[in-house]
Amino acid sequence: MAEQNNLLDSETSPYLRQHKDNPVWWHPWGDAAFERARAEDKPVFLSIGYSTCYWCHVMEHDSFEHEEVARVLNENFISIKVDREELPDVDQIYMDVVIGIHGHGGWPMSVFLTPDRQPFWGGTFFYRANFINILQAMSEAWKTDREKVTRSSAELTRYLEARKPKLAEAPIDVNVLGIALHQLFKRYDREFGGFGQAPKFPPTQSLAFLLRAHAVRPNAAALEAFTTTLSAMARGGFFDQLGGGFHRYSVDAEWKIPHFEKMLYDNALLAPIYLDGYRVTGNDLYRTVADRTLDYIVREMSAPEGGFFSAEDAGEVDREGEYYSWTQEEVMATLPPAMAQWFCAVYSVTLEGNFEHGRSALVIPSDEAWRESESPEIREARKLLLKARAQRPRPHRDEKILTGWNGLAITALCRGHQVLGREDLLEAAVKAATFVERALVIDGRLQRRYCAGQAGIPALLEDYAYLIEGYRALFESTGDASWIERAAALQREQDKYLWSGERRAYVSSAAPGLIVQVTEWVDGAAPSPNGVSLSNLLVLSEVTGDPAFAYRAQLLEQGLPNEVASIPMVYMATLNAVLLRMAGAAACSVVVPTPGESPPPEVRELWTRFLPFVTVVWGRSGVKGAKMLESRAALGDKATLYVCRHAACQEPTVDVELAERLCSATSITFGE
């Protein structure tokens, strides 16, 4: 018989290591656990979560640390722990099961499987007494009514197979874009911004779509929905008013009280949205929030060796938000009396509090109060309170480095460099990308995770898609063609391992042992990897001149599910890519007359404009890897701009304003 103990001690995942001392005999995901279940004729209890998940901590303390729970699990089940951030492909399959059973999902996730990995029941969080009852019922069913278990398993497996996307009967047209706008406006909260009711998650892809729709054709309603949402998120407790960066989501409709967890991907996705908002509106609130969010990423999430850590949790069980919230007494004890009184007024800190136990999440109630918050006195107050906050017990930080999330961070830092002119952000982006190349490529193949000095897990679709996007941004920022060459090579690697000719799309994972293959088109907390891949292919085709990328983009768009036509608002990353195709992915080549490491003023000027369908390429004539520079020459001693779309180029010009007009030209119109 296999050894009877907890087998997580040698794992590197911070989440799995949090459970290594539980009395439960946990196994990591893998063949060994299922072989043991088969040999001992036991069902599998699969528990999925992540290290910064508050309710995962609660269930651990309430159930998995207790001998009475461990006894039931150890005697009757083979128990497996999965870090959903390391294995999102596994998580997605069984989350679909839980949603199919209950209509909703969440973490921690609890699923019961046969030794052949087939699910027969599942749920999310359970308190101990209920959990023990469920365990006993599942064990009893396995022992005495195996036929019922088999029927349930077969039904859920059929459900998973039926979720395979059905291909669209016709390509997306402008009518679908109009439907998407209509659906967004129908769900839009005109008072507080965002879409739908509480809890509210940051709608990054919807906001990107609204701004692109406005760029195609001025649309006051789209711009109003965009700006109202950005302002509300920025002034609420959803944004960390002291330390910068955004929390995971808002528990209320007003963006006041967050779930205090912080994720690298949320911040990496939100910073470029705020930069775009600043470029379109000139609103300094958006510039400041983007600046402070990027500061947070670099200051708090940087790994010494390069790359960025994954997340910070909300605090210990029963102490969620204590690190970030304040009582009026604490503010008064930290600041001089007059400053404290003013700070409390600006940030809505009251004696009663707006959170728990008389504590307040810092909230700026109005634009006028935000302007006050930028005064020298309130800035100094923030510094003093941040210093005091640093003395509190710090929430746990998950220090694994995920390739895809680092790709998102690289893109955000490059955009920050372009719009804000900060060289330190570009340095951080280059350092992260260099780390990925050095530490996360094994035997020529990209890996997903680096933790405790070890890289592993072959890259998933999101790793390729997000990292390719990051390398594209690095090429634009540095003028170094090696980054676009690496992006092209990664795209070919993605094609090799993850393309499905049957589905005309990329599958999420090539990992063995998955009971179904998942094709991700719907946006989740991060954009659809297939949608991002469509954008990548369109841009790579235009910049490199390789027709294989254009051909693959055509095939991929044929793989769109038919639901896009009826519920397009859940496919926003894909619609943003379709908009790019309709507008014509353009490249503006800025050819400099003399070599240099810094972009010319013409490039910096274009970076200040919102040009969502244009890749700005710069460098000397003849640069390899970028078609747009290979055969272009400067006119005399001036930087010269070439605007090309669909392989058709306009006459070269030295006039930035003319180049911008050529970049902005589009013939798309769609209903509202």
Strand 44-49 relative to strand 109-113, pairing: antiparallel
pLDDT band at 277 (very low <50, low <70, confident <90, very high): very high
pLDDT digits (tens, 9 = 90+) for 290-335: 999 999 999 999 999 999 999 999 887 678 899 999 999 999 999 9
DSSP 222: H
Q: Please provide the DSSP assignment of 340-357 as one string.
A: HHHHHHHTT--SS-SSST
Average pLDDT over residues 614-630: 74
DSSP one-letter code for 195: B
The residues, ordered by sequence, that sit 6+ positions from 144 with a Cβ below 8 Å of its Cβ are none
- Residue 28 to residues 402, 527, 638, Cα–Cα distance (Å): 19, 28, 61
Query: What secondary structure letter does DSSP report for 319?
Result: -
Say what the pLDDT of residue 250 is: 97
Half-sphere exposure of residue 335: CA atoms within 13 angstroms, side-chain side: 26
Kindly report the number of other CB atoms within 10 A of residue 365's CB atom: 14
Mind listing the pLDDT tens digit for each residue in 581-605? 998 888 888 888 877 778 989 999 9
Characterise 415 by phi-psi region: left (phi > 0), alpha (psi -120 to 50), beta (else).
Answer: alpha
pLDDT classification of 261: cutoffs 50, 70, 90: very high
Token readout for 326 is 């304040």
Instruction: Give yes or no for residue 365 having a pLDDT over 70.
Output: yes
- pLDDT value of residue 645: 81
Pinpoint the alpha helices (H) of 503-571. 529-544, 547-558
Query: What's the pLDDT band for 626 if we cut at 50, 70, 90?
Result: low
- The pLDDT value recorded for residue 648 is 79
Q: Which of 203-207, 435-439, 443-447, 544-548 has the lowest mean pLDDT?
A: 544-548
> How is 115-155 classified by DSSP, letter by letter?
TTS-EEEEES---HHHHHHHHHHHHHHHHH-HHHHHHHHHH
- For 153, counting Cβ atoms within 10 Å of its Cβ (0-12 exposed, 13-18 middle, 19+ buried), the class is buried
pLDDT the model gives residue 1: 44
DSSP SS3 for 226: helix
pLDDT-derived band at 169, boundaries 50, 70, 90:
confident
Token pair, residue 557, equals 């768009």
Backbone angles phi, psi at 442, to 5 degrees: -120, 125
Please state, rounded to an integer, the average pLDDT across all residues of the chain: 93
Q: Which segments of 319-422 does DSSP mark as H helices, in order?
A: 328-334, 337-346, 367-373, 376-389, 403-420
368-395 exposure pattern, b = at least 16 Cβ within 10 A, e = fewer: ebbebbeeeebeebbebbeebbeeeeeb
C-alpha 656/C-alpha 609 separation (Å) is 11
- pTM of model > 0.85: yes
Percent of the chain exceeding pLDDT 90 equals 83
- pLDDT over 80 (residue 188): yes
Q: Which residues pair with 43 in a beta bridge?
A: none
pLDDT value at residue 671: 56
For residue 378, what is the DSSP state? H
- Residue 341: how many CA atoms within 13 Å on its side-chain side? 2
Residue 532 reports pLDDT greater than 50 = yes
Long-range contacts made by residues 635-641, C-beta under 8 angstroms, separation at least 24?
Answer: 636/593, 637/593, 638/593, 639/590, 639/591, 639/592, 639/593, 639/600, 639/601, 639/602, 639/603, 640/590, 640/591, 641/588, 641/589, 641/590, 641/591, 641/602
* Dihedral-angle region of residue 621 (phi above 0 means left; psi in -120 to 50 means alpha; beta otherwise): beta
Q: Is the pLDDT of residue 136 over 80?
A: yes
Question: Between vectors from CA 409 to CA 408 and to CA 410, what angle results, nearest 5°?
Answer: 90
Examine the pLDDT at 620 and tell me if it is beyond 80. Answer: no
Average pLDDT over residues 524-529: 95
Contacts of 207 (CB under 8 A, 6+ apart): 226, 229, 230, 273
CB atoms within 10 A of CB 592: 21
Does the pLDDT value for residue 535 go beyond 70? yes
In this predicted model, what pLDDT tens digit does every residue of 3-21 receive, in sequence order?
689 999 999 999 999 999 9
For residue 622, the model assigns a pLDDT of: 64
Average pLDDT over residues 414-421: 98
Query: Which distant-in-sequence residues (6+ apart) come within 8 Å of 4 by Cβ?
Result: 25, 74
CA-based nearest residue to 490, from 450, 522, 459, 452: 459
Are the C-beta atoms of 599 and 656 separated by less than 8 Å? no
DSSP tag of 565: G
Please say if the pLDDT value at position 666 is more than 90.
no
Residue 577 near residue 534, CB atoms below 8 Å: yes
Over 80: is that where the pLDDT of 630 sits?
Answer: no
Supply the pLDDT for residue 388: 97
3-state DSSP assignment of residue 594: coil
| Position 96, amino acid | D
3-class secondary structure, 451? strand
| Burial class, 604, CB count within 10 angstroms (exposed 0-12 / middle 13-18 / buried 19+) | middle
3-state secondary structure of 299: helix
Segment 217-227 shows an average pLDDT of 95
Q: Provide the CB-side half-sphere exposure for 248 (13 A, CA).
A: 17
DSSP summary character for residue 94: H
Nearest to 200 by CA among 247, 140, 263, 264: 247
Q: Dig out the tokens for 70 from the structure.
A: 């461990």
The label of the residue with tokens 């676009």 reads 484
Strand 441-442, strand 445-451: pairing: antiparallel
d(CA 654, CA 631): 17
CA distance 165 to 218: 34
pLDDT reported for residue 2: 53
Opening angle at CA 519, ends 513 and 525, nearest 5: 105
Q: How confident is the model at residue 173 (pLDDT cuts 50, 70, 90)?
A: confident
Residue 594, phi-psi category: left (phi > 0), alpha (psi -120 to 50), beta (remainder): beta
How do residues 637-665 score in pLDDT, each as one tens digit?
888 889 888 777 888 888 888 888 888 87
